[in-house]
Structure 1
Amino acid sequence: MRPENCNHAHNFDWELYPQAENFLIRHISTFLENNSFARTLSSSIEHETSTLFFDWIDHMVLPENIVSEKALDEFGFRRMDSLEVPPDMKVFMHPGAIFFPVLLTKGRCTEVILKPERLDHFIQMLGKGFSIEGDIYGHYRKAVISHQDNSILSAVERRGYNGFLLSANAHDAQEYRQALEIFFCRQRYFEDPGEGMNATLLLIKNLCKKLSPARVTDAFFRAERVYWERKNSAGQTQKARQDRVGLGWGNHDHHTYRTSRNNFTRLIKIFETLGFVCREQFFAGEEAGWGAQVLEHPQCNIVLFTDVDLLKEEKSKDFSHYDLEQTTRLGTVGLWVELHGESMLQAGLHHLAARFNFEKIRTDLKRQNINTMHPFSYFEFLKQAFTEAETWKVEPKRLNKLFEKNAITRAQYETFLRNGTIGSHLENLQRTRGFKGFNQRSVSAIIKATDPREYKFQGA
């Protein structure tokens, strides 16, 4: 199922596809048996980064004499004629799952293509002097890493593009570089958050006049991940591990934003201007007091989870597109925003979720003194856990305002002022069977568990 309309969020019911997953795993295993370089690299990636080789695959090319269109159709893959592909290939995607695309070719070679965040960094760490096809800062670049008999290992870099044709002449490369710099240097501190949200929307609208929304989106989130990482030590540690093999954050699963009720529709407007489409909505009930809108970009393979305080009577309306009335009570999300600011502005992402080997990364990060909270999802098809929260200092004027409104107690005021409070996380996530969704009950549990008024730091 592909996202089409925010007003039909309740229609999203993501299913499991174990047969399709097994089909892909079989072909990857055969490929690794036939390419020793890829086999060694796969082992190194999994050992050094606590991730799964499967989650680093951008797409796979299979010969038509090995796999037929009918077989792909039986596994749920659908031909996508709208995507740009080489003339001798056809592309198939699974609309209801997270599986990577499969291309059928009239040729004889099987090819696995990886997706490092930056291709030049990946090649640098391999140290073999591989050449890159496609323009720097172009929408699609590629390098062949290993060609053994009929098995090819390659890697690509995408910057706002979901096709499969090299960018022979990146006519917008200069504008893209300027957009990157603008997003890295954009103003994030505003006295009036509403003014800041409006300024951010205007900035993005102006950039979309020079670049496609997909290109702007890619530049925007590269800057967002860096900003989050610089404020999160677990993210820095894990990024360094992934950078040692040159992969960066190519394994990101979703980016989570928190916002005030007053600015939630502005946040959604910003993302829709970038080309995001709304998927499912969540409402956790009166006690939990939160809601969320999931969004997905159809060209950039980026998913967003946007959190907001929500009231029981608001669950029946499209709260992403109708302004929410102001309330005196602050839930977990609202309090976090009052303490630190809007995620779109000075606070940055609440967390980045990336795909890992769930058990291995918990153990490996523990060796580096990074603790992981109790899992809030633990199903065969979906496992999720936050690293222990990063402690952020809180501006005294924010605490004064909260205390004057009776939103926090005197004891909480003094604790937050002295010690700081819960800031951001890295989310450890593992998906199997192609599951694309989230579990509402599990998310409700972690929302409540990370309320700054209740959260206890490990060892405290």
Structure 2
Amino acid sequence: MSTNKPVSAETDFDDNSYHWQRHPRASQIVGQLVRQFSCQSPFAERLRLAMRDHTGTRLIDWLDHIGICQDATIDGVKAETALVDVGFVTLRNDRDGHWLQHRGGLFPAVVIGDDDCFRLAIKVDCVDAFLKAHQMQREITGQAGSPFRKSLVGESTAQSSSLGSAAKLFVCQRHGWTNWQTSEATDEQVLLAGELACGFQSRPRQNFDSTKQLIQGAVAKIGADWACDLFLSAEREYWQNRNQAARIQRERQDRLGLGWGNHDHHTYRSSRAHFAELIECLELFGFVCRERFYAGGQAGWGAQVLEQTNTGIVIFADVDLSPEELTVDFSHDGLQPNPKLGTVGLWCQLHGEAFLKAGMHHLECQFDFDVARRQLAELGIETMEPFTDFPHLRQAFTRGEIWPVASPRIQLALQEGWITRQQAESFERDGAVGSHLEILERNDGFKGFNQTGVSEIIRKTDPRHSQSRHQGHDS
């Protein structure tokens, strides 16, 4: 849709973008803004506490953007100057205000507007669901089914604020729409979007050709951004229906009407044979190949990280990979068959392609790491040992969901020598690890990933290592 302005400051990735750094000063300023808003908005403070106590998440991880007034100051310094000094750059200027974004870190946009308002907007899957969960009657701006809707859910007057005289809390739902004003989608587009969303949820998952045709048709009808967001929403639903930890956490977040607005990245596992097709399908949605991820020759696997900037969606595409293949464009040129299967290849042999019938290997969401793990444990959902535990990045999988494995898949793996007879018998009897929810906490705006510690956790999720441990309880 032509009225949806691209996030130009983020769109063109370069080599320097991949050396993600910590940005403690920028994090301090953003955190200060959020804390000050919570002090001025009683509802925001109640919501912050409810997020922590009932979902194990942090208010800051749900932010869509922060809005401040033209004359705003931070610690006595003009706000725009303070933000630019810590790495924020101009995203765009439009009727919504002056948009700033930190290109090197993971922070919400900051909008400097003409009105005397201090604004916080949080992202949710559905504005109606949020209002219902909080028993609110509020006006919703934006047509039902359109790519952007918002609602003012809290407003209070600031006694003495350098950021704006009125603190306004909004919730918004975006489907690839980057502006703050209501989208100009036509009734026909809204109707098409609803039909396409249903089509994504019920799509045939047998082959890449039919999926590619479905994507091409959707993009032609409503644009890449809107179609991308609807497609990944359907993918999350398909994944959570096959993962108990995901269902329990989704229910917890839905009690506050939040949905999966705290998603960090989606992970697909791919066979070598279909990896280029997977990338091709994702690029139809406007995904751009970002950094390559490689855990080392001993690990035997790698990934292409992709980002769709207008939707804020990041994808990890995992595949068995050798060190030599890092020198070629493995994401587009394709990969030759390998007589041996690594962790990712075997998962695909047992369960199928993640982009097709198997569904995602995991969804990683942002949490208060310790709080979320403790709360899930109290509900019977254990997490594996953290494979990243730095001040700026903490990561852990929930225990693997066990999926049954079709006998023909097991027999082929046995015939090809990819598994032993004992392993084959175990897979027939007990199934194999299929999917996870991943718990993540980011600090200091760190946007990257741990390329070293992940090797061991991937080894532990290899069905050949975990098959003897009944249903993944020590996977």
1:63 lines up with 2:69 in the alignment: yes
TM-score, normalised relative to structure 1: 0.95
**Structure-2 residue corresponding to 1:246:** 257
**Structure-2 residue corresponding to 1:292:** 303
Which of residues 122, 134, 145 in structure 2 aligns to 1:126? 134
Which of residues 104, 111, 114 in structure 1 aligns to 2:119? 111
Which of residues 439, 460, 465 in structure 2 aligns to 1:454? 465
Secondary structure of 2:464's aligned partner: coil
The verdict on how the C-alpha distance between 1:78 and 1:402 changes in structure 2, with shifts beyond 3 A counting, is same
Post-superposition Cα deviations, 1:137-178, rounded to whole Å, max 9, x if no partner, equal 112111000111111111111011122211255441011111
Q: How does 1:167-206 map to 2 (within 5 A)?
A: 167=183, 169-171=185-187, 172-188=189-205, 190=206, 196-206=207-217
Mapped to 2, the partners of 1:112 and 1:260 lie a distance apart of 43
The verdict on how the C-alpha distance between 1:3 and 1:407 changes in structure 2, with shifts beyond 3 A counting, is farther
Post-superposition Cα deviations, 1:7-62, rounded to whole Å, max 9, x if no partner, equal x6686100111111111111111111111122112111211100001011111101
> Alignment identity in percent?
38
Post-superposition Cα deviations, 1:189-246, rounded to whole Å, max 9, x if no partner, equal x3xxxxx112211211122111110011011011000000000000000000000111
1:282 lines up with 2:290 in the alignment: no
Which of residues 25, 37, 50 in structure 2 aligns to 1:19? 25
Which of residues 161, 169, 172 in structure 2 aligns to 1:153? 169
Mapped to 2, the partners of 1:11 and 1:158 lie a distance apart of 25
Mapped to 2, the partners of 1:355 and 1:11 lie a distance apart of 21
**Structure-2 residue corresponding to 1:386:** 397
Question: How many equivalent pairs are there?
Answer: 449
Amino acid at match of 2:52: E
1:32 lines up with 2:38 in the alignment: yes
User: Which ranges of structure 2 fall in alignment gaps of 5 or more residues?
Assistant: 1-8, 74-78, 158-165
Asked if 2 retains the 8 angstrom alpha-carbon contact of 1:97 and 1:435, the reply is yes
Post-superposition Cα deviations, 1:123-145, rounded to whole Å, max 9, x if no partner, equal 11110211201111112111000
Asked if 1 retains the 8 angstrom alpha-carbon contact of 2:307 and 2:314, the reply is yes
Q: How does 1:61-100 map to 2 (within 5 A)?
A: 61-67=67-73, 68-81=79-92, 85-86=95-96, 89-100=97-108
Amino acid at match of 1:305: F
Q: How does 1:299-378 map to 2 (within 5 A)?
A: 299-378=310-389
Q: CA deviation at 1:75?
A: 1.7
Mapped to 1, the partners of 2:461 and 2:377 lie a distance apart of 20
Mapped to 2, the partners of 1:273 and 1:26 lie a distance apart of 39
Pick which of 57-66 and 410-419 moved more.
Answer: 57-66
Pick which of 160-169 and 19-28 moved more.
Answer: 160-169
Q: CA deviation at 1:406?
A: 1.2
**Structure-2 residue corresponding to 1:193:** none
Asked if 2 retains the 8 angstrom alpha-carbon contact of 1:9 and 1:281, the reply is no
Which of residues 42, 51, 66 in structure 2 aligns to 1:45? 51
Secondary structure of 2:327's aligned partner: coil
Q: CA deviation at 1:424?
A: 0.1
Post-superposition Cα deviations, 1:74-116, rounded to whole Å, max 9, x if no partner, equal 121111127x542xx2111111111000000122220111111
Which of residues 220, 227, 234 in structure 2 aligns to 1:209? 220
Secondary structure of 2:192's aligned partner: helix
Mapped to 1, the partners of 2:465 and 2:303 lie a distance apart of 21
TM-score, normalised relative to structure 2: 0.92
Mapped to 2, the partners of 1:30 and 1:323 lie a distance apart of 51
Mapped to 2, the partners of 1:285 and 1:113 lie a distance apart of 40
Q: CA deviation at 1:284?
A: 2.6
Q: CA deviation at 1:447?
A: 1.5
